[in-house]
Amino acid sequence: MRVRRTAAALSLTVAAVLTVGAAAPLQALSQLPSAQAEFPTGTTTTPNGATLFTDQSGRTLQLRGFNVDKYDETTEADVRSIAAHGFTLLRVAISWNRLEPARGRYDAAELGKLRQLLSWADHYGLLAVIDFHQDVYGPEFGGGDRGIPPWATRDDGLPFVPDPNDWFAGYFQPSVQAAFRHLYDDSDLRRWQAEFYTRIAAELRGHRSLLGYDLFNEPFGPIDGDPTDPSVLAASSGALEQGRLAAMYGRLISAIRAVDDRSWLFVEPTVLVGQGVPTQLPGFTDPRPGAPRLGYAPHFYDTAVENGADWNPSDGFITAYTAAITGYPRAHRLPVLVGEWGPPNSRTPGNTELVRDQVAAMSGFATGWTMWYWCQGNGGYCALGTDGRPAPGDGPAFAPYPTALAGRPLADSFDGTTYRLDFLTGPGGWSELAIPAGARVRVTGTPVAVIDTGRPGHARVLLPRARPGTPVTLTVTVPSTS
């Protein structure tokens, strides 16, 4: 993928008496805040109960970006392009099998590749969350070389018959069910998994770009009864979350904290949350000194869309998901980072609407998200079309947004050409925005100074005369792409 970085040509307008020139001459770039994405050091809870990341200055943060490297193909050009589009976050899929192909033997090349990817993130100002990824457990069940290694797979000799038309059906095979049961229950497998997490955390600690760890991708487990019965699935999911999975998360939190007390650690519910089934995970304790750094990382998929349907906006999916997703993080004051979302084909009319509605919904309950998936192609989840531009239908995911807001957000919206953000000002400081080149920024509600830092895809806004709590509206007009 070839990428050309050009300076953002911002046409800035001011809807206040104070003009840009009245604030001060443009500052030298060396005096401006760093272009590096801000690492969250704390949280704040909004009036609607959502918990948002904050930085050391108390600004609220939005972290947005894409999943990368499941297919071992991410290049420096990809990372550079993600940053140039205004995003601040990578979710990096890693494989236990690839990193530790034999018990106690780590692959130096794989570790080096992972460190290189984080170094690219460092260079281009991104943060990264490491996703301990698995699909249908691991290679023993048709997952290529990804997932949990064969030496940590115990299937009791039970059968596995793959369905080429439904990869997810593999989770219900007796052998896969047995493998998960052993992973949760066998003391040696528990120990080996914890040792792996400690080793990876020790290898990666100290990287400026390291946001933290998504502890286990799309957890699954034994199903006691008929898996086609929704009530059986819900009961089994709840039992897993309250028992085996909760115990696993406790072990893995301790394993990482043995060597790293800086990173954020994210727990995932089972995939049933996508069907409107609230999680039954308990709360967790973070042994790090100071305030806990724990978060919640659900996925946001519509089952029918995943099975190839165009989204039906009347199916209630967004409403049911939002209702299911909000109770747990609000009860435990956890920031929500949606680890995966997006349809396999955004070009169809319903799925185009789905992308728009998902972005709007997440702005109400999440402090960040990573879309699936950063690649260039004609469909198949690729966020970019064959021309390297945002894929048709995925435009709302590339909309302007505040990466760091000196205040508290109230509401935002995007109609395809105009982004509007209403917020209350905080104690002061720069608000940073991801915007397309050529966009126009307008602020109403207070005298304002607006500055172009020269960083592609970004603008910074300073409100030097606004008292904390002042209602302000920020509008970004996006240039036509026609």
pLDDT tens digits for 228-286? 899 999 999 999 999 999 999 999 999 999 999 999 999 999 999 998 999 999 999 99
Protein fold of 62-398:
TIM Barrel (3.20.20)
Q: Which residues pair with 406 in a beta bridge?
A: none
- pLDDT score of 346: 95
Neighbours of 446 (CB within 10 A): 19
Listed range (24-38, 371-385, 425-439) with the worst mean pLDDT: 24-38
What are the tokens at 45? 């809870």
Neighbours of 198 (CB within 10 A): 18
For 172-200, what is each residue's pLDDT tens digit? 999 999 999 999 999 999 999 999 999 99
Residue 446 in this model has a pLDDT that exceeds 50 = yes
Question: What CA–CA distance (Å, rounded) separates 70 from 133?
Answer: 8
Neighbours of 454 (CB within 10 A): 13
Residue 5 in this model has a pLDDT that exceeds 60 = no
Q: Once rounded to an integer, what is the mean pLDDT over residues 198-204?
A: 98
pTM here is: 0.92
For 90-140, what is each residue's pLDDT tens digit? 999 999 999 999 999 999 999 999 999 999 999 999 999 999 999 999 999
Read out DSSP for 154-182? --TT------TT-GGGGGGSHHHHHHHHH
- pLDDT score of 4: 27
Q: Which residues pair with 129 in a beta bridge?
A: 91, 212
> Which positions ≥6 away from 21 have C-beta within 8 Å?
none
- pLDDT score of 24: 28
Scanning the structure block, which residue is given the tokens 């760093």? 34
What single-letter amino acid sits at 138? G
Q: H helices within 6-135, ranges in order? A: 20-23, 76-84, 96-99, 108-123
Give, as one character, the DSSP assignment of residue 387.
T
User: Rounded mean pLDDT of the chain?
Assistant: 90
Going across the sheet that includes 418-425, the strands are 11-12, 440-444, 471-477, 418-425, 407-414
The better pLDDT of the pair 36, 99 is held by 99
Q: Where are the domains of the chain?
A: 1-48+402-482, 62-398
For 298-330, what is each residue's pLDDT tens digit? 999 999 999 999 999 999 999 999 999 999 999
